[in-house]
Structure 1
């Protein structure tokens, strides 16, 4: 049977009746989808849960940003907005509409345009976390400098620049080849795009997260040792010195979850490039589908991380839900 692949997700689709009774040798060698309707159900649930949850996160963070005037919430707002774009372009437009609903061939130009938008949204979602990480590093390791340079207006300019670069980086992926449908081995352009993608979405941001988070943890440990020495010497210790703050804990949680959820997809893409093709090996096909499902989960988990770490965020979410319920009750 034949079906349509997905450019960024690359996942299997609903089986349909072949238009031609005779399959070509290439079709006979194509790897089968082992998950059936599971991806359709999974992405539908992820979309139905993830988008409302991210909208709720957006409203709560907007209230916190207006209340506190902290640059932190500007960065978190940008991250949440980019996650919503990823869910709409990659899951809704790219997968559910393009492959699971239409059930027919889509014009190549439209496919490539959607692919470009998917990669742009994906890159924006990931790189929105980088300024947040840098801001936390400066706040903990260079507090005096942080007071001078960290304010909402500057954060908005930084986010605008980062998102512009991230969206522009999606343009070359207009020529991205669909791993599930292309039977030929990856060429020079395919290899260049795959490497560019894994560097942009994983190796480079994870490298930044690893270095800066390590420096943050080392600084906190050093402060903790100094606090212990001062306590033993009878000196007064500043409150909270050496402790892991809520904001830092939130940052470490967000970056750690991203690193874990995106690692399988990065591994499978490089395996496809150098070892076995998604098109021909059902095991690689299955691993690719599962790794994409894990990666897309990253767009919906931040709300729960914020609720777990931040009491202030939980309080605002509770107020938003209460206000919404009151509005609904007053309607005739």
Structure 2
């Protein structure tokens, strides 16, 4: 039998390669660039909100979020330089040309940012596990000063761990010997530049040299590859952190569910005691529960995006790096995993704004403090219940007939859900009631004020 591929098989293979190349170009080029730009802007805005608008009473957990956002912003910038910009400029990932001179630095810093992000998420997960499962121990070690030092130490260790990556690739001079107009031969890459004396050896011989990216001898060393890329990387970056994150996230989810169940048992909904204290406790527990859910979502989102790079590293170790990188489907798998990392790093703002009530309030206050934001806020909230609006209350005379609307219909301020104080109309008592931060008794106070106002007018 003839083992050579048929024309149909070659056509199908060419079509598959073209489709894979087009998908890779879209992922690495346009989609990555779009998410990098939006992600960097939103991450910087999130860092600004955390650092400037939360200076008073800043919880320790925000230092984790600020450090994680910084690392992920740096990862987005490196992804743009390593994948997106070459695709936008040249239509594909390139290994030759003047652009490759930045590859050693970008390659090293990309691995550093990924390692730092993994370790920060891991420390955040351990912190949440201790806060829910061992609160006494967490209270002793979860102070803000210790969290600051911990974030600094973890970031420095991530830089030191990724430092050998800088010596794995380097830019070399690739030279081609042109003997005839249509005949070329390629020489092996060398680090020395071909001089003009070699060009003059023969009249019909020309040397064309250009920079190219190449692996160093350290990268090809079997001992280094086995120890650093397989053992250490799987223990501290890919496999073991991924498994530990899965276990801790599952444990945290179980503890959150148990906490909700215990709270319902201790405070059943039909128990009619001290409703004000019950309302305050319910609101506080609800805020704490939502904050924990927000952190769990950040961890789970990172875990989902980090699974594919872990699987890609495992397949590369099992199959071999040469065979793995020669496959077009493997290259597409790597591109998808890289895009998921970009998507994860650019979407934290939306988790903060949806699930973080404190963060959402800070963003709202900052936007309202600007002239454009204040004008937009007034336009979108005109006449709504959440603003201070004018309410017209018609009063009725003792005989049942309404008074003159010009004199009897008075306008007073109805306090919104953000009410900070509620003033009564009792001129004799002249008291001031301070509404609670949750405004749980707003409706009752409003009804009492209306009845008291009508009683004073009728008397």
TM-score band w.r.t. shorter chain? 0.7 to 0.9
Which of residues 309, 317, 322 is equivalent to 2:363? 317
Q: How many residues are aligned here?
A: 295
In the alignment, is the contact (CA less than 8 A) between 2:312 and 2:333 conserved in 1?
Answer: yes
What is the distance in 2 between the residues matched to 1:91 and 1:69? 32
Q: Tell me the CA shift for residue 106 of structure 1.
A: 4.8
Q: Tell me the CA shift for residue 316 of structure 1.
A: 1.5
Say which SS state the counterpart of residue 67 (structure 1) adopts. Answer: coil
Q: 2:49 maps to what in 1? A: 60
More strand as a share of residues: 2
- Deviating beyond 6 angstroms after TM superposition, the runs of 4 or more aligned structure 1 residues are 234-238, 241-244
Aligned CA distance change for structure 1 residues 60 and 120 (closer, same or farther; 3 Å): same
Do residues 74 (structure 1) and 63 (structure 2) align? yes
CA RMSD of aligned residues (A): 3.7
What is the distance in 1 between the residues matched to 2:371 and 2:82? 33
Which of residues 245, 249, 252 is equivalent to 1:209? 245
Which of residues 248, 267, 279 is equivalent to 2:292? 248
TM-score (norm 2): 0.56
Which of residues 129, 133, 155 is equivalent to 1:141? 133
Q: Tell me the CA shift for residue 211 of structure 1.
A: 3.2
Q: 1:299 maps to what in 2? A: 345
In the alignment, is the contact (CA less than 8 A) between 2:60 and 2:143 conserved in 1?
Answer: yes
In the alignment, is the contact (CA less than 8 A) between 1:133 and 1:209 conserved in 2?
Answer: yes
CA displacement, residues 201-257 of structure 1 (integer Å, 9 cap, x when unaligned):
33233333233333333333444454455457x898984598771221012101111
Aligned CA distance change for structure 1 residues 328 and 172 (closer, same or farther; 3 Å): farther
What is the distance in 1 between the residues matched to 2:151 and 2:331? 36
Which of residues 151, 157, 160 is equivalent to 1:159? 151
Identify unmatched segments of 5+ residues in structure 2: 1-16, 171-212, 376-459
Aligned CA distance change for structure 1 residues 218 and 235 (closer, same or farther; 3 Å): farther
Q: 1:7 maps to what in 2? A: none
Aligned CA distance change for structure 1 residues 83 and 124 (closer, same or farther; 3 Å): same
Aligned CA distance change for structure 1 residues 140 and 36 (closer, same or farther; 3 Å): closer
Identify unmatched segments of 5+ residues in structure 1: 1-29
Aligned CA distance change for structure 1 residues 220 and 48 (closer, same or farther; 3 Å): closer
Counting only pairs closer than 5 Å after superposition, residues 148-227 of structure 1 correspond to structure 2 as 148-176=140-168, 188=222, 189-195=224-230, 196-227=232-263
Aligned CA distance change for structure 1 residues 68 and 217 (closer, same or farther; 3 Å): same
In the alignment, is the contact (CA less than 8 A) between 1:272 and 1:284 conserved in 2?
Answer: no
In the alignment, is the contact (CA less than 8 A) between 1:181 and 1:279 conserved in 2?
Answer: no
In the alignment, is the contact (CA less than 8 A) between 2:249 and 2:300 conserved in 1?
Answer: no
Which of residues 314, 323, 333 is equivalent to 1:270? 314
What is the distance in 1 between the residues matched to 2:348 and 2:247? 22
Q: Tell me the CA shift for residue 325 of structure 1.
A: 5.6
In the alignment, is the contact (CA less than 8 A) between 2:24 and 2:335 conserved in 1?
Answer: no
TM-score (norm 1): 0.74
The structure with higher relative contact order (CA 8 Å, sep 6+) is 1
More helix as a share of residues: 1
Aligned CA distance change for structure 1 residues 172 and 191 (closer, same or farther; 3 Å): same
